[in-house]
Amino acid sequence: MLTRIDHIGIACFDLERTVEFYRATYGFEVFHTEINEEQGVREAMLKINETSDGGASYLQLLEPTREDSAVGKWLAKNGEGVHHIAFGTADVDGDAEAIRGKGVRVLYDEPRVGSMGSRITFLHPKDCHGVLTELVTSAKPSAHGSAGHAADHAAEHSGDPSADHAGDPSA
């Protein structure tokens, strides 16, 4: 069962400038950062609030590190803005399977490791009224510890949640 909005992913050209906008305008602070070389992105997670299920809601700011990354291609086509929405769930596997059973394409056969050690998968935007949708099961707090510890494991985590499909939503 989906329990919350985990995060909203926002593609940007300049991560520092975008972080500063959200800090100065809304008072949001960076909770976590990581770089994913494989996916070609840098990200900053800005924590918005705690949620009743023990999780939190975030803004995920995504900056491509190379033009040929999925987020880089998406930015070239669409400009800065909302890239995807992510819903939190205690069971990404079960919820993805249930949603697949309703005729919605799930983009990964098996969930992958996402930001801060979470488990993630995506739903095809053409099946979700044009919205790239992510399902997220957060890592247990002890699994990722502080933001600094999580950043140490950046190579293991996906900073670009739609890397395989964001550049080509017709896939």
Q: Which two tokens stand for residue 28?
A: 């949001």
Taking the CB of residue 18, how many other CB atoms lie within 10 A of it?
20
129 has catalytic annotation: no
Q: Exactly one of 60, 63, 157, 165 is catalytic; name it.
A: 60
pLDDT-derived band at 141, boundaries 50, 70, 90: low
163 vs 124, residue with greater confidence:
124
Does the structure show a pLDDT above 90 at 160? no
Does the structure show a pLDDT above 80 at 106? yes
Question: Could you tell me the pTM of the whole model?
Answer: 0.81
Amino acid identity, residue 102?
K
Contacts by residues 71-76 (CB-CB < 8 Å, ≥ 24 positions apart): 71/11, 71/39, 71/40, 71/41, 71/160, 71/162, 71/163, 71/166, 72/40, 72/167, 73/166, 73/167, 73/168, 74/11, 74/162, 74/166, 74/167, 75/11, 75/12, 75/13
Range in 36-40, 55-59, 110-114, 140-144 the model is least confident about: 140-144
134 has catalytic annotation: yes
Single out the residue of 84, 95, 148 nearest to residue 119, CA to CA.
95
Whole-number Å distance between alpha carbons of 65 and 23: 22
60 has catalytic annotation: yes
